Amino acid sequence: MLVENRLAACVNVTDVSSVYEWKGKIENDREKLLIIKTIEQKFGELEEFVKKNHSYQCPEIIALEVKAGSKEYIEWANSVIKADKK
Q: Is residue 56 part of a domain?
A: yes
Provide the CATH number for the domain around residue 20. Answer: 3.30.70.120
Give the pLDDT band (50/70/90) at residue 26: very high
**pTM for the predicted model, two decimal places:** 0.86
Please report the pLDDT score of residue 75 as a whole number.
94
Mean residue pLDDT of the chain comes to 94
Q: Is residue 41 part of a domain?
A: yes
Under a CB-based contact definition with an 8 Å cutoff, are residues 16 and 1 in contact?
no
- Sign, CA torsion 34/66/42/38: negative
Q: Is residue 4 part of a domain?
A: no
Q: Is residue 67 part of a domain?
A: yes
Q: Is residue 32 part of a domain?
A: yes
Under a CB-based contact definition with an 8 Å cutoff, are residues 67 and 23 in contact?
no
Per the structure, the count of domains in the chain is 1
Q: Give 11's strand partners.
A: 36
Q: Is residue 2 part of a domain?
A: no
State residue 12 phi and psi, 5-degree precision: -95, 135
45-86 pLDDT per residue, tens: 999 999 999 999 999 999 999 999 999 999 999 999 987 665
Q: DSSP state, 7?
A: S
Range(s) of the domain holding residue 47:
10-82
